[in-house]
Structure 1
């Protein structure tokens, strides 16, 4: 079923990988970006922010061309090298010396995504996909793998364990206290075994990288149209992916902050909530939901627990059972008047690693009026949504691992 190919990665020289690898540039504050760009000439951020050397904001096609120029410069000066043979790459990430993610970097098939062998659980924004297509068509490389997940496989795990007994090609630690290791899987027998084991699986699931995956369809069509000798085996028929077993995924919730009560008094707001929830005032006692269909709420210096009244809410499919959807259908839309979860400026999403303490602080300082804490989605819930061709509300899952840019690069 799923097809995954080895490829000839472009990657940093061993002595520079720790300097080159970066988080996606949008995750840095302006001050952080400036510090890294000022003090580290090898950062991948110089490639994706090419206007920095000219002290100018550059966007659109001009930026894309400059990105390609900076990338070529890194190759020309030896900061990047390209493997002579097609390999799989074993990437291990250790968070805070205790949480490990071990996966295989390979090239997944665009056909498999089109045919729903690779399944999604999120929707994409067409404008964002179009911009990303234009970018990729100009630069002709991808430095950020899509995160795919699959059932644990004993044969693949045996190969991983065997590889990790040898010295890694890369070993470096970031300022975020992540340690990265990379091994090259060159042995033809191991490569064949990995491909065969992946091919036995029924489906892969996208954990992170829906826009990158979706853009691969139109990108492939555009490039193939220009290639009179198109065979379907060219590199643009695949996209770089980091494949890890589903038992390794860490899924956190996104909590919600809302600016107002939509004209309601506190008392009337609580009365409206009572239609769908059993409400308990917990005062100053910090509360975080301990299971599905339970929510925490912070309002006027007090924590509340909300337990769904199941006789007041109808479950119709996997989406309707999702806590983010329940909160939307019972509170955000009918009571607080928020129908556009993606664009309404009155709502803010906070990754669960910041927990309800962050939510409390944002409300206590007057920036927001009320906050809601959710219980994290499980892998099985995510898979059911994908299997039923449904999509989760925006900002339902925050998934680790988060991958660094520039460690392996896929050219097409």
Structure 2
């Protein structure tokens, strides 16, 4: 069953919260991070992307980057920008985006449950990205950004959250630069904390929605600390890592679309013929943007026109992951026709989160690409089903919005 543990969060003093909050570290490059934080000395980007406070260097993963992040945390604690709770607490965290509300619990989850798959995964991780966050968490002596988890909705947990929100003032209620409202309540009443942790103890599994690299890295830091402290009891903070846990019914997954640099030697007409031969019905839709209407239907932008591609039943396998639209597109079109064998490493393909809209696909094709594909979004049930079967989704299957705000809570490993 799922362990959810209260912790003494390090977090911004309320008067600084709107200045500290930032987007997560992995949704921008160094230049973009530097521009975002240029006029804001309090921005959490000075911690999660501390390289912006150092002279530009070839190695973005130099030890000095992590030491600068550690020093920036210490400076903010010393100056009162950050404070640490006197006693362990859970937190209710609400985000509102375009009128859609998701409300979850912030707490710590167990390294052992990541290991034994009580915390379920649906993606592979990359070693170099893991190493970056391992070094970051280890040198900072803290989980600096939370993992985004979900669980199958439980009315009892929802009732407690809704009741608490209705009867208590929030610690923060701010709107970030991207228009997302972030509201945080501190739950430090021991009996209420006990009730919530007891209910999570009845939840059979938690699922990583977003943050596979952060969770893998946090787990490995915990295991490293165990090696360094062979007399550990299991209660130390390094045995746990920080997460925001939302019920599945609150979540929305956006499409994650593809753009490809060339037609692999084909003319446009040859390419369209090959798509038909591969098992798709092709319908020209004209110059107006066309949005896929459902599963196994794709939108394609080519030569200034949109096309509707409908996968025939003959190319849709009866398989948990291979029947996902991103897999059908990869296995029946991108690989055999365009020669994209491994989308994680091939330089001819790029990915565009659906939050940018299909206008971004047109822009990319008119700029530096030849063809674009819009995919109907994966739903949360797909994600849970894949994870329950101990499988992984194809690369770049899910794009969650809103992104968690970074900087509102840190978990000390001491």
TM tier, smaller: over 0.9
What residue is the counterpart of 1:112 in the other structure?
Answer: 113
Match of 1:346 in 2: 348
The answer to whether the 8 A contact 1:298-1:370 is kept is: yes
Distance 1:26 1:205, change over 3 A: closer
Q: Give the match for residue 172 of structure 2.
A: 170
Which has the larger displacement, 348-357 or 255-264?
Answer: 348-357
Kindly indicate whether the alpha-carbon contact (under 8 Å) linking 2:325 and 2:375 is maintained by their aligned counterparts in 1: yes
The residue correspondences of 1:60-139 to structure 2 (distance < 5 A) are: 60-96=62-98, 98-139=99-140
- SS of aligned partner of 1:7: coil
Contact 1:171 1:181 survives alignment (8 Å): yes
C-alpha separation in 2, matches of 1:54 and 1:256: 34
Helix, strand or coil at the partner of 1:175: coil
Aligned to 1:292: 295
Task: Find the residue that maps to 1:16 and give its secondary structure.
Answer: helix
Aligned to 2:154: 153
| 1:366-407 per-position Cα deviation (integer Å, ceiling 9, x unaligned) | x11111111000111111111122111211110123111110
In 2 relative to 1, CA 245–331 (structure 1 residues): closer, same or farther, beyond 3 Å?
same
Conservation of the 8 A alpha-carbon contact between 1:121 and 1:382: yes
After superposition, give the CA deviation of every residue in 1:21-67 in whole Å (9 maximum; x if it has no partner): 11124434666544443322212222344454554446421211121
Aligned to 2:304: 301
* Corresponding residue pairs, total: 409
What does 1:207-286 align with in structure 2 at a 5 Å threshold? Answer: 207-275=209-277, 276-286=279-289
Distance 1:111 1:228, change over 3 A: closer
Distance 1:355 1:14, change over 3 A: closer
Secondary structure, aligned partner of 2:178: coil
Q: Distance in 1 between matches of 2:146 and 2:140?
A: 16
Give the C-alpha shift of residue 130 in structure 1.
Answer: 2.2
* 3-state SS of 1:274 partner: helix
Bigger shift: 61-70 or 35-44? 35-44
Question: CA–CA distance in 2 between the matches of 1:220 and 1:55?
Answer: 31
Contact 2:298 2:310 (8 Å CA) reproduced? yes
1:330-369 equivalence runs, <5 A:
330-365=332-367, 367-369=368-370
In structure 2, relative to structure 1, the CA distance for the partners of 1:27 and 1:127 (3 Å cut) is closer
**Conservation of the 8 A alpha-carbon contact between 1:255 and 1:351:** yes
Superposed displacement of residue 206, structure 1: 0.6
CA RMSD of the aligned region, Å? 1.7
Tell me the distance in 2 between the aligned counterparts of 1:329 and 1:102: 37
- Are the counterparts in 2 of residues 3 and 199 from structure 1 also a CA contact under 8 Å? yes
| 8 Å contact kept, 1:173–1:180 | yes
More displaced 10-residue stretch of structure 1: 51-60 or 149-158: 51-60
Given that 2:180 and 2:402 are in contact with CA atoms closer than 8 Å, whether structure 1 keeps it comes out as no
Instruction: Confirm or deny that 1:14 pairs with 2:14.
Output: yes
* Residue deviations 1:344-363 (CA, integer Å, cap 9, x gap): 11111111122322212222
Q: 1:28 to 1:116 in 2, by over 3 A?
A: closer
SS at match of 1:271: helix
TM-aligned CA deviation for residue 122 of structure 1: 0.9
After superposition, the Cα gap between the structure-2 partners of 1:54 and 1:306, relative to the gap in structure 1 and judged at 3 Å, is: closer
Residues 209 and 49 from structure 1, CA distance in 2 versus in 1: closer, same or farther, beyond 3 angstroms?
closer
**1:316 offset after TM fit, Å?**
4.0
Aligned-partner Cα distance in 1 for 2:372–2:33: 30
Tell me if structure 2 keeps the 8 A contact 1:341–1:393: no
Shift, 1:314, TM fit: 5.1
Q: Is the 8 A contact 2:137 2:144 kept in 1?
A: no
| Structure 1 residues 110 and 248: alpha-carbon distance in aligned structure 2, compared to 1, 3 A threshold | same
Deviations 1:291-343 (A, max 9, x none): 111111111111111111112x2514211110000000011111100111012
Distance 1:175 1:218, change over 3 A: closer
Contact 1:318 1:384 in 2 (8 A): yes
User: Do 1:89 and 1:183's aligned partners in 2 also have CA atoms closer than 8 Å?
Assistant: yes
Are the equivalent residues in 1 in contact too, given 2:24–2:403 (CA < 8 A)? no
